[in-house]
Amino acid sequence: MNGDLRQGLINFMPFLYRVHWTLAMGEFGHWLFGIVALMWSLDCFVGFYLTLPRGNGGFWRRWKYAWFVKWKASAFRVNFDLHRAGGLWLWPMLFILAWSSVMMNLRPVYERVMSTVFAYESPGEEFFPKARPTEHPILDWHAAAIAGQKLIAEQARLKGFTIEQPLGLWYGPESGAYFYEVRSNHDIFRRSPKGGSTHVVLDGNTGAFLSLFQPTGQRTGNTVESWLYALHMARVFGRPYQIFVCAVGFVVPLLSATGVYIWWKKRRGRQLAASRAISSTGETVTFVPQGD
């Protein structure tokens, strides 16, 4: 059983993956992380906006200070600069991680946004209206493989891509269709199926062509999605990028901790200011702290 620690350490890494993806809490954790990822994506834009200088004149001259840390300043200022500058320098990667997490855990929201911004088609959208769900298709595996090989070769000639090698064949009873998958020159990275590999979809009863999916070069939104998968899972640019993603994994809790500290210090300052204002009036008032 994937991720079941009762069966020994062989399941430790699958369990760690389940924690990373769903907090090992099943469907509830899946949706919870999706909501958190959406909040993180929105927070990326809020945080970026808060770094912009206020007022008129000398925008770039004043904004450049937000990109650096004043190491000789007070502890609070160093903490503040680490939070602000760290978020600015890593902003593109932080947003990629956040939005790709929405893609994985909150598909309805993700697909609505992508369809609005880009030319995008949800996986299965093209052929599912033609699908006839069945557990037992007329075509057996051997016949489906031959039909899939022929169809993908035809599509390669029509669409102008190169087939490098066959990867696999699988059947989806909910769609009544076979999926014949190959590695092509339009694939972003070489691990299948995460990130999207080139595949043709054929009717499980007749072998008729239903759809072709290409991870890049077909629709802008789907190309972006394939890159989001690849970048999130560090399946491009080799070992240097993997090390970079690992380092970002340490930076994210640093930004969280410095952000909480900034909030706490400012909240404490408001409480003290309110207490002094009350004391100066000579009145006895119980101060009730308010959250931000």
Residue 113 pLDDT > 80: yes
Is the CB of residue 100 less than 8 Å from the CB of residue 38?
no
Residue closest to 241 by CA, chosen among 103, 110, 102, 96 = 96
Q: What pLDDT does 195 receive? A: 47
Domains, the chain, in order of start with CATH, read 12-120+219-292 (no CATH), 122-218 (3.10.450)
- pTM exceeds 0.85, yes or no: no
Percent of the chain with pLDDT over 90: 49
Question: Cα(280)–Cα(2) distance, rounded to whole angstroms?
Answer: 64
Cβ contacts of 254-257, under 8 Å, gap ≥ 24: 254/82, 254/86, 255/83, 255/86, 255/87, 255/94
Averaged pLDDT of the chain:
86
Strand order in the sheet with 198-203: 163-172, 177-184, 198-203, 209-213
Is the CB of residue 69 less than 8 Å from the CB of residue 85?
yes
Q: What pLDDT does 157 receive? A: 93
